[in-house]
Structure 1
């Protein structure tokens, strides 16, 4: 099912990677989520998880 949201563990992992590993600010993460029409990781469809993680990595790479 494409509409199934990511698990709480995946949401926590997304935020930890974004903040700690990628050094992104919350507003930058929220901007990427907004690109995909997602207002909260609670509503992030599981099928978009990898794509959004890749986009977050692109944003972090662009800042250096």
Structure 2
């Protein structure tokens, strides 16, 4: 699983840099079947970060 520091970093990047709302972040995590950042496998961390970035670029 990812470290607490990585989980904190994920939220900070998603909120501040990517300007995503919490519901959008949670929706991306749900795509991977993840209910909490505590349960993100380390091998999926980069993939999830990339998906968050894609989500931020998508305009609705």
Question: Please, which of 32, 42, 47 is the counterpart of residue 51 of structure 1?
Answer: 47
Q: Quote the offset at 1:25 in angstroms.
A: 0.2
Question: Please, which of 26, 33, 36 is the counterpart of residue 30 of structure 1?
Answer: 26
Normalised by the length of structure 1, the TM-score is 0.91
Q: Please tell me whether Structure 1 or Structure 2 has the larger radius of gyration of its CA atoms.
A: 1
Unaligned runs of 5+ in 1: none
Unaligned runs of 5+ in 2: none
Length, aligned pairs only? 60
The alignment's C-alpha RMSD in Å is 1.0
